[in-house]
Amino acid sequence: MIVCLCRRISDRDIQHAVREGINSFDVLQDETGVSSHCGACHDCANEVFQEACAALHGGGAETCHASQKVISIATAFAT
């Protein structure tokens, strides 16, 4: 499934990136561009990222770092 419409990033792209060693959502954004335009996909992308990390590392959340960013660009334009 496509997670990020702006950058055409799928759940499989995110899973692949995690398997390749990306363990930070911020790095995932830098490397793939996911959630780096309108931000509407941020929560879904972060959830897919966390699930991929948990699957790869057996649920060890400490091995992956969730996004600390709050994407509010879309919200800012909506108001």
Question: First-to-last CA distance in the chain?
Answer: 29
Contact between 22 and ligand FES per CB under 6 A: no
Q: What whole-number distance in Å separates Cα of residue 49 and Cα of residue 32?
A: 12
Q: Which stretch binds ligand FES (CB under 6 A): 18-26, 33-41, 47-55, 62-70?
A: 33-41
Element (H, E) at 3: strand 2-4
Q: Is residue 37 at the binding interface for ligand FES, with CB under 6 A as the rule?
A: yes
User: Can you tell me the distance from the alpha carbon of 14 to that of 9, in angstroms, rounded to the nearest whole number?
Assistant: 7
From the list 2-10, 18-26, 46-54, 57-65, the region that binds ligand FES by CB under 6 A is 2-10
User: Residue 35, interface with ligand FES (CB under 6 A)?
Assistant: yes
